[in-house]
Structure 1
């Protein structure tokens, strides 16, 4: 056994777990999104909670100590708030606690379906009436959990296509000391639409609005200009890479080494839960660089471990030292890790020794997952 700092899953959409190995339709991100919307349409707070308990427990088994939940499934199916406007957010926080996981609940502002277009269909669940209403709701959620050692409430800009330029500064200012995350340049079409509508790239738009700072995490950041890379580095922003999801959705391979060299701080996330395995995500950063550059060795095991653990904790508003406090035992005698001097290059989540204080063991998690996923698809 060797002691390993706990991983930070810096970007998660927990309800996407219901899509794993079930939905392959759509030949690009936008086609896949329609299938995802079908799942989003049927979730209520109770079913979301049950699916999240199982998914967060799977993360815990994989050596993850904290999750950044990028949360936009706010309201009822017709867009009307629940009796508690933060019912779904509270369901996610309760699920993380049940699984023994710290959580940064990143409440995402969502105001439009695209530049100049109102939310349509299931998107009405994601949207608040205006940015002030969103800010008041998220401020109340933050107030409830202020001082908790296992919960941080942060803010998120869903994307520049979903938050009008005039509202970006308001979102950035809503929780001025908390983490601020945003989907950035995941797709070329997003960039093209942004430039056509505003004359700026998404990164430039965020920078101009004051939303690009050292507390900002740009998620994906796959399709960046050289100026974008420099802006993220100059701001000291975090960039969260989600390699398995970016591969699953045919998004592309982001410029990880260029971002690092510019001064951006890299973190990792499971995003759409294609797999929940931080070892796989970490290795994929280096492997992606090898494929695009034709060279080996852009990232060593130390750098990847730092990105996947302590830097991720910091991006979610937690003390990076908690990654060591939450450390797990990694088996070094398995068929994968035996003989390895740097286990990061060989290990998988299956090599994590389950902590003694786990609320749910592997068999129990499998039962919970089958039940929750089955319930979702009975409704879709």
Structure 2
């Protein structure tokens, strides 16, 4: 049935307005947004704090949540971290992955995230043995998101090789990577075609990287996504070693290789894009390819700071992801993008708070194939979150600066309410569908 939420303050894209009534239809869409209502309408659910569109986590590997703490012990590199990741992956079955993802997605809901892009390549059983249902692992993720109350775009990922050899072949997958691989891009496409969207899920495609998909099979994945109008994501230039291997094998950068094979475009999102040339930036921006920055993972793994300002100026919309889940906090991802740039350039103010919120909301939803979400206006999906303005982190700034307080001071711990499709998933900081999320995480990680 129709419901009304009354927001003490709401960020409406350009300004923060007080006393905002958000009317929601029985089909989970916003029917009206009314400002200056002065008092809550009769029967309205009151949301104290600043309400913003639901946050979109554009890049997630749910199983990496099991690495938290473990991956931060000692030193090492991205490549030593990858070995620890393989060990976690080797233990998961559809049932245990469902439990881990359900708890991880519940943590996301508590952090104000209403939609996740799951970059999914853990397809088969250890050693590459096929489950009776070849999409059992992906279906476990879709079910986990539903039970946690958030939307998901399952970015089913083509992952065929352990490294680059030439245009037509790659290094054979190692024992850990066998469960990631379908053998060929055509076989990947056949399996992925069996996945079907529903009310809370959409199906997209991903190319793991130019390391993992031979060049002559890139277009197969791109064409699969194009035929369906589906989002297409990929890891791009996360490590200098990837760029060097691509140059050696193909005499061009990964970005140039992707452009040559028809992968770039407005439905494509490049994740990380950390080590780019000026030509790469022009190719991404000129094709309107999006870029997803994951600052907490990029700094956790010592990957580097990507040229976010430059790619945006060139024409690439920016979104944000928590990737390896060193933390799950899209507000931290947003401010980290700005603060990283300040450290690099020694100047301030590369993005406004509103621009950073758009990266975390509307841009992220668009990158995941949910263009009808990520804004508070009539006709949009009724997905929104409320951040408290009276905690030790957020108290003090004038209400007109609520967006700045949210971006630069608040954390996921300040999220009080999360609404998805008009349904209150988090109320007063408590998840309504997963009663004890910390206990669920402890059990799932164990």
Q: Is the 8 A contact 2:106 2:437 kept in 1?
A: yes
* Cα distance in 2, alignment partners of residues 208 and 100 from structure 1: 40
Q: Hey, what does 2:425 align to over in structure 1? A: 357
Q: Hey, what does 1:117 align to over in structure 2? A: 171
1:263 aligned onto 2:315: yes
Q: Hey, what does 2:338 align to over in structure 1? A: 286
Deviation for aligned residue 1:339: 1.4
Of residues 127, 138, 149 in structure 1, which corresponds to 2:181? Answer: 127
Q: Hey, what does 2:66 align to over in structure 1? A: 18
Deviation for aligned residue 1:362: 8.1
Task: After TM superposition, list the pairs within 5 Å mapping 1:46-61 onto structure 2.
Answer: 46-61=95-110
Task: After TM superposition, list the pairs within 5 Å mapping 1:1-380 onto structure 2.
Answer: 1-23=49-71, 24-25=73-74, 27-115=76-164, 116-141=170-195, 144-145=196-197, 148-176=198-226, 177-324=229-376, 325-340=382-397, 341=401, 342-343=404-405, 344-355=407-418, 356-358=424-426, 360=432, 364-374=436-446
* Cα distance in 2, alignment partners of residues 91 and 304 from structure 1: 32
* Cα distance in 2, alignment partners of residues 98 and 186 from structure 1: 32
Of 347-356 and 187-196, the range deviating more from structure 2? 347-356
Deviation for aligned residue 1:39: 0.4
Q: Which runs of 4+ in 1 moved over 6 A?
A: none
Mark the CA change 1:85 to 1:52 in structure 2 (over 3 Å): closer, same or farther: same
Q: Is the 8 A contact 1:25 1:35 kept in 2?
A: no
Q: Hey, what does 2:45 align to over in structure 1? A: none
Per-residue deviation, residues 148-172 of structure 1 (Å, max 9, x unmatched):
2311100000000000000000010
Deviation for aligned residue 1:321: 3.3
Give 3-state SS (helix, strand or coil) of 2:425's partner.
coil
Please provide the CA RMSD for this pair: 1.3
Give 3-state SS (helix, strand or coil) of 2:126's partner.
coil
Q: Please list every run of 5 or more consecutive structure 1 residues that lacks an aligned counterpart in the other structure.
A: 375-380
Q: Is the 8 A contact 1:61 1:362 kept in 2?
A: no
| Structure showing the higher strand proportion among its residues | 2
Mark the CA change 1:47 to 1:229 in structure 2 (over 3 Å): closer, same or farther: same
Mark the CA change 1:362 to 1:90 in structure 2 (over 3 Å): closer, same or farther: closer
Per-residue deviation, residues 65-104 of structure 1 (Å, max 9, x unmatched):
1000000000000101100000000000000000001000
Deviation for aligned residue 1:266: 0.3
Q: Is the 8 A contact 2:363 2:374 kept in 1?
A: no
How high is the TM-score relative to the length of structure 2? 0.81
Per-residue deviation, residues 302-360 of structure 1 (Å, max 9, x unmatched):
11000110000000000243553211121111111111222211111111113443454
Q: Is the 8 A contact 2:157 2:207 kept in 1?
A: yes
* Cα distance in 1, alignment partners of residues 124 and 216 from structure 2: 23
* Cα distance in 1, alignment partners of residues 281 and 124 from structure 2: 35
Q: Hey, what does 1:378 align to over in structure 2? A: none
Q: Please list every run of 5 or more consecutive structure 2 residues that lacks an aligned counterpart in the other structure.
A: 1-48, 165-169, 377-381, 419-423
* Cα distance in 2, alignment partners of residues 236 and 86 from structure 1: 31
Per-residue deviation, residues 162-197 of structure 1 (Å, max 9, x unmatched):
000000000101121100000000000110011001
* Cα distance in 2, alignment partners of residues 305 and 30 from structure 1: 32
Of 215-224 and 317-326, the range deviating more from structure 2? 317-326
Q: Is the 8 A contact 2:329 2:412 kept in 1?
A: yes
Q: Is the 8 A contact 1:242 1:271 kept in 2?
A: yes
Q: Is the 8 A contact 2:148 2:433 kept in 1?
A: no
Mark the CA change 1:126 to 1:184 in structure 2 (over 3 Å): closer, same or farther: same
Deviation for aligned residue 1:3: 1.3
Greater Rg by CA:
2
Deviation for aligned residue 1:4: 1.1
How high is the TM-score relative to the length of structure 1? 0.95
Q: Hey, what does 2:18 align to over in structure 1? A: none
* Cα distance in 2, alignment partners of residues 317 and 52 from structure 1: 21
Mark the CA change 1:323 to 1:364 in structure 2 (over 3 Å): closer, same or farther: farther
Give 3-state SS (helix, strand or coil) of 1:175's partner.
helix
Give 3-state SS (helix, strand or coil) of 1:192's partner.
helix
Mark the CA change 1:118 to 1:57 in structure 2 (over 3 Å): closer, same or farther: same
